[in-house]
Chain A
Amino acid sequence: MQVMTSKRGARSPVAVTGMGAVTALGWDVSSSWKGVLEGAHPARPVDLFETEGCRCRSAAQAAIPPIPSLTSKETRRLPRASRFAIPAAWEALAQADLLISNGRAKLPHTPLCLATTGGGMEFGERFLAEILAGRKGHLRWVGRYQPEQQALDLQRCFELCGHSVVIANSCSSGADALGYAAQLIWSGEAACVLAGGFEALTETVFVGFDSLRILTTERCAPFDRGRSGLLLGEGAGFLVLESLEHALSRRTRPFCLLTGYGQATDLCHLTQPSPDGGALCQAMESALAQAKLSSEAVGYLNAHGTGTALNDEAEARAYSRFFGAGWQTPRMSSTKATIGHALGAAGAIEAVFSVLALSTGRLPPQWNSPDPLPEVEQALARPLEAPRPLDHTMSVNVGFGGSNAALLFSRYD
Chain B
Amino acid sequence: MPPCYFPVMTDRSPLYVSAVGIVSPAGLGAEPLRQLHSSAEKEMALSSSPSRSFPVFLVDRSDPRWNRWVEEPRLRRAGGLALFLVEAIHQALVGLREQARSRMGLISVFNNGSIAHTARFFAGYRGQGRRFASPLLFPETVYNAATSHAAAVFGLLGPTCTLVGDESAWVEGIRMARIWLELGRASAVLVAAAEEVTSVSLDAFHSAGWLRKGRAFRPAEGSAALLLTTCPQDALFVLVDAPASIPYRNQEELASVASRLACELPPGVPVYQTAEGSWLGPLEKALLRQMPSAGSFPYLGEAFAVSAGWHTIRAASLLSERRREILLPLWGSIHQISWLHLRCLGDAGGRRRTLPPSRFDEPA
Instruction: Please list the residues of chain A having a beta carbon within 8 angstroms of any beta carbon in chain B.
Output: 2-8, 11, 51-55, 108-109, 111, 117, 119, 124-125, 127-139, 141-143, 146-149, 151-152, 155-156, 159-170, 176, 180, 183-184, 186-187, 189, 204, 207-213, 263-265, 267-268, 270-271, 399-403
B157-194 interface bits toward A, Cβ cutoff 8 Å, 1 = contact, 0 = none: 11111111110110010011001101111000000000
Instruction: Specify which chain A residues have a CB less than 8 angstroms from the CB of B245 in the assembled complex.
Output: 163-164
The distance from the CB of A317 to the nearest CB of chain B, in whole angstroms, is 20
Asked if residues A163 and B130 are in contact (CB atoms below 8 Å), the reply is no
Asked if residues A117 and B184 are in contact (CB atoms below 8 Å), the reply is no
Asked if residues A170 and B182 are in contact (CB atoms below 8 Å), the reply is no
From B1, B130, B336, contact of A52 by CB (8 A): B130
Residues 5 to 48 of chain B near chain A (Cβ within 8 Å): 5, 7, 9, 11-13, 46-48
Instruction: Specify which chain B residues have a CB less than 8 angstroms from the CB of A211 in the assembled complex.
Output: 125, 133-135, 138
Given that A108-B2, A109-B4, A169-B162 are known contacts, is A212 also in contact with B247, CB under 8 Å in the complex? no
What are 18 contact pairs spanning A and B, CB under 8 A?
A: A54-B131, A119-B164, A132-B126, A136-B49, A148-B166, A151-B335, A163-B338, A167-B162, A184-B179, A189-B9, A209-B138, A211-B125, A212-B135, A263-B161, A265-B156, A265-B159, A267-B156, A401-B148
The reply on B121 being an interface residue by CB < 8 A is yes
The distance from the CB of B307 to the nearest CB of chain A, in whole angstroms, is 16
Instruction: Specify which chain A residues have a CB less than 8 angstroms from the CB of B161 in the assembled complex.
Output: 167, 169, 176, 180, 263
Asked if residues B203 and A208 are in contact (CB atoms below 8 Å), the reply is no
Number of interface residues of B (CB under 8 A): 83
The reply on B318 being an interface residue by CB < 8 A is no
Instruction: Specify which chain A residues have a CB less than 8 angstroms from the CB of B182 in the assembled complex.
Output: 5-7, 187
The distance from the CB of A87 to the nearest CB of chain B, in whole angstroms, is 20
Instruction: Specify which chain A residues have a CB less than 8 angstroms from the CB of B149 in the assembled complex.
Output: 270
In the bound complex, how far is the Cα of B162 from the Cα of A263, in angstroms?
13
The reply on B265 being an interface residue by CB < 8 A is no
Asked if residues A51 and B130 are in contact (CB atoms below 8 Å), the reply is yes
Asked if residues B164 and A148 are in contact (CB atoms below 8 Å), the reply is yes
In the bound complex, how far is the Cα of B206 from the Cα of A142, in angstroms?
10
Instruction: Please list the residues of chain B having a beta carbon within 8 angstroms of any beta carbon in chain A.
Output: 1-2, 4-5, 7, 9, 11-13, 46-49, 74, 110-113, 118-119, 121-123, 125-126, 129-131, 133-135, 138-145, 147-149, 151-152, 155-166, 168-169, 172, 175-176, 179-180, 182-185, 200, 203-204, 206-209, 244-247, 249, 334-336, 338
Which among A2, A11, A165, A167 has the highest number of chain B CB atoms within 10 Å? A165
The distance from the CB of B127 to the nearest CB of chain A, in whole angstroms, is 8
Which among A5, A138, A187 has the highest number of chain B CB atoms within 10 Å? A187
Instruction: Specify which chain A residues have a CB less than 8 angstroms from the CB of B147 in the assembled complex.
Output: 401
Closest to B4 in A: A161
Instruction: Specify which chain B residues have a CB less than 8 angstroms from the CB of A4 in the assembled complex.
Output: 183-184
Given that A132-B123, A155-B247 are known contacts, is A6 also in contact with B139, CB under 8 Å in the complex? no
From A124, A186, A204, A401, contact of B145 by CB (8 A): A401
In the bound complex, how far is the Cα of B130 from the Cα of A397, in angstroms?
29
Asked if residues B208 and A400 are in contact (CB atoms below 8 Å), the reply is no
In the bound complex, how far is the Cα of B164 from the Cα of A134, in angstroms?
28
Asked if residues A127 and B130 are in contact (CB atoms below 8 Å), the reply is no
Given that A161-B246, A163-B246 are known contacts, is A169 also in contact with B144, CB under 8 Å in the complex? yes
Per CB-CB distance, the 3 closest pairs between chain A and chain B, nearest first, are A401-B148, A53-B130, A168-B143
Known A176-B161, A207-B133, A267-B157; 16 more pairs at CB < 8 Å: A7-B13, A7-B182, A128-B119, A132-B123, A133-B48, A146-B334, A161-B4, A161-B247, A164-B336, A167-B161, A168-B144, A168-B162, A169-B144, A183-B179, A207-B138, A400-B144
In the bound complex, how far is the Cα of B133 from the Cα of A213, in angstroms?
11
In the bound complex, how far is the Cα of B310 from the Cα of A348, in angstroms?
35
Given that A131-B203, A401-B142 are known contacts, is A164 also in contact with B247, CB under 8 Å in the complex? yes
Instruction: Specify which chain A residues have a CB less than 8 angstroms from the CB of B74 in the assembled complex.
Output: 270
Asked if residues A208 and B163 are in contact (CB atoms below 8 Å), the reply is no
From A132, A155, A162, A207, contact of B130 by CB (8 A): A207
Given that A108-B2, A146-B334 are known contacts, is A166 also in contact with B157, CB under 8 Å in the complex? no
Instruction: Specify which chain A residues have a CB less than 8 angstroms from the CB of B244 in the assembled complex.
Output: 111, 162-163, 189
In the bound complex, how far is the Cα of B208 from the Cα of A89, in angstroms?
29
Asked if residues B142 and A189 are in contact (CB atoms below 8 Å), the reply is no
Closest to A213 in B: B135
In the bound complex, how far is the Cα of B159 from the Cα of A338, in angstroms?
31
Instruction: Specify which chain B residues have a CB less than 8 angstroms from the CB of A131 in the assembled complex.
Output: 46-48, 200, 203
In the bound complex, how far is the Cα of B119 from the Cα of A164, in angstroms?
27
Which among B131, B159, B175, B208 has the highest number of chain A CB atoms within 10 Å? B159
In the bound complex, how far is the Cα of B88 from the Cα of A230, in angstroms?
37
Asked if residues B207 and A170 are in contact (CB atoms below 8 Å), the reply is no
Instruction: Specify which chain B residues have a CB less than 8 angstroms from the CB of A400 in the assembled complex.
Output: 139, 142, 144-145, 148
Instruction: Specify which chain A residues have a CB less than 8 angstroms from the CB of B49 in the assembled complex.
Output: 134, 136
Asked if residues B184 and A3 are in contact (CB atoms below 8 Å), the reply is yes
In the bound complex, how far is the Cα of B122 from the Cα of A263, in angstroms?
32
Asked if residues A401 and B172 are in contact (CB atoms below 8 Å), the reply is no
Asked if residues A127 and B204 are in contact (CB atoms below 8 Å), the reply is yes
Instruction: Specify which chain A residues have a CB less than 8 angstroms from the CB of B183 in the assembled complex.
Output: 2-6, 11, 183, 186-187
The distance from the CB of A390 to the nearest CB of chain B, in whole angstroms, is 27
Asked if residues A152 and B143 are in contact (CB atoms below 8 Å), the reply is no
From A5, A141, A147, A187, contact of B164 by CB (8 A): A147
Instruction: Specify which chain A residues have a CB less than 8 angstroms from the CB of B121 in the assembled complex.
Output: 204, 208
From A51, A136, A184, contact of B206 by CB (8 A): A136
Asked if residues A5 and B247 are in contact (CB atoms below 8 Å), the reply is no
Instruction: Specify which chain B residues have a CB less than 8 angstroms from the CB of A119 in the assembled complex.
Output: 164
Instruction: Specify which chain B residues have a CB less than 8 angstroms from the CB of A167 in the assembled complex.
Output: 161-164
From A139, A146, A161, A213, contact of B207 by CB (8 A): A139
In the bound complex, how far is the Cα of B46 from the Cα of A247, in angstroms?
53
Instruction: Specify which chain B residues have a CB less than 8 angstroms from the CB of A168 in the assembled complex.
Output: 110, 113, 142-144, 162-164
From B13, B133, B152, B335, contact of A148 by CB (8 A): B335
Asked if residues B163 and A166 are in contact (CB atoms below 8 Å), the reply is yes
Asked if residues B48 and A207 are in contact (CB atoms below 8 Å), the reply is no
From B12, B130, B140, B155, contact of A54 by CB (8 A): B130
Instruction: Specify which chain B residues have a CB less than 8 angstroms from the CB of A149 in the assembled complex.
Output: 335
The distance from the CB of A282 to the nearest CB of chain B, in whole angstroms, is 9
Instruction: Specify which chain B residues have a CB less than 8 angstroms from the CB of A11 in the assembled complex.
Output: 183
Closest to A124 in B: B118
The distance from the CB of A255 to the nearest CB of chain B, in whole angstroms, is 24
Asked if residues A189 and B175 are in contact (CB atoms below 8 Å), the reply is yes
Given that A128-B122, A168-B164, A187-B183 are known contacts, is A402 also in contact with B48, CB under 8 Å in the complex? no
The distance from the CB of A138 to the nearest CB of chain B, in whole angstroms, is 7
